């Protein structure tokens, strides 16, 4: 199964989601069942590493964040089985670009959070390192539930 994690510039939330899910799948002995990538709805940071705060929080948890930012391409809608938008704005942008028959592949990351409630993963970019820690913890929960959902 191919999963794509999507945020705005692909340097904070989506690379963390990609790295966390990959690590959890590997730890569960299911890494070979998934191809995982991340991308941004915009091209602000194409070619750059993830934000140093995202990489640092990942390292603190033993999760290397190694992705290089890229923008979502039209071919991604067909190439990926599941596209995980970090917030409703991303979902709206993705659905507008996605061919209608493939739109059910686009889901919100927080649909896999517990307890269900707020739908958006907040953007930590303009905040402090503690905001990145909170986003990491949120994505860790979401990825755990997502992995469980996909492997049942």
Query: 97, 103, 120, 123: which one is catalytic?
Result: 123
Q: Which domain holds residue 42?
A: 2-151
Quote the tokens at residue 149: 């959902």
Q: Please identify which of the residues 7, 98, 142, 143 carries the catalytic annotation.
A: 7
In this structure, what token pair is assigned to residue 137? 């913890």
**105 backbone dihedrals φ, ψ, rounded to 5°:** -75, -15
| CATH code for position 79 | 3.40.50.2300
Total domains present in the chain:
1
Instruction: Provide the whole-model pTM.
Output: 0.97
Asked if pLDDT for residue 117 goes beyond 90, the answer is no
Query: What length is written for the chain?
Result: 152
Q: Tens digit of pLDDT for each residue in 17-34? A: 999 999 999 999 999 999
Answer yes or no: is pLDDT of 116 > 80: no
- To the query of whether residue 143 is one of the catalytic residues in this protein, the response is no
Model confidence at 115, pLDDT cuts 50, 70, 90, reads confident
The CB density around residue 68, as the number of other CB atoms within 10 Å, is 14
Is 93 noted as a catalytic residue in this protein?
no
pLDDT tens per residue across span 63-93: 999 999 999 999 999 999 999 999 999 999 9
In the set 12, 13, 91, 105, the catalytic residue is: 13
Active-site residue flag, 92: no
Considering only CA atoms, which of 103, 78, 92, 82 is closest in space to residue 38? 82
Report how far residue 8's alpha carbon sits from residue 89's, in angstroms, rounded to the nearest whole number: 9
């Amino acid at each position: 199964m191919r999963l794509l994690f999507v945020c705005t510039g692909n340097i904070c939330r989506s690379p963390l989601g990609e790295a966390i899910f990959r690590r959890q799948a590997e730890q569960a002995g299911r890494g070979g069942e998934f191809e995982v990538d991340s991308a941004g709805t915009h091209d602000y940071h194409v070619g750059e590493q993830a934000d140093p705060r995202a990489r640092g929080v990942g390292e603190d948890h033993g999760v290397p964040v190694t992705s290089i930012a890229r923008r979502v391409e039209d071919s991604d809608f067909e190439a990926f089985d599941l596209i995980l938008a970090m917030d409703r704005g991303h979902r709206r942008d993705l659905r507008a670009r996605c061919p209608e028959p493939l739109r059910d592949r686009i889901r919100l990351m927080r649909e896999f959070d517990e307890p269900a409630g707020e739908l958006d993963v907040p953007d930590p970019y303009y905040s402090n390192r503690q905001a990145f820690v909170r986003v990491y913890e949120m994505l860790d929960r979401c990825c755990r539930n997502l992995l469980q959902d996909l492997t049942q």
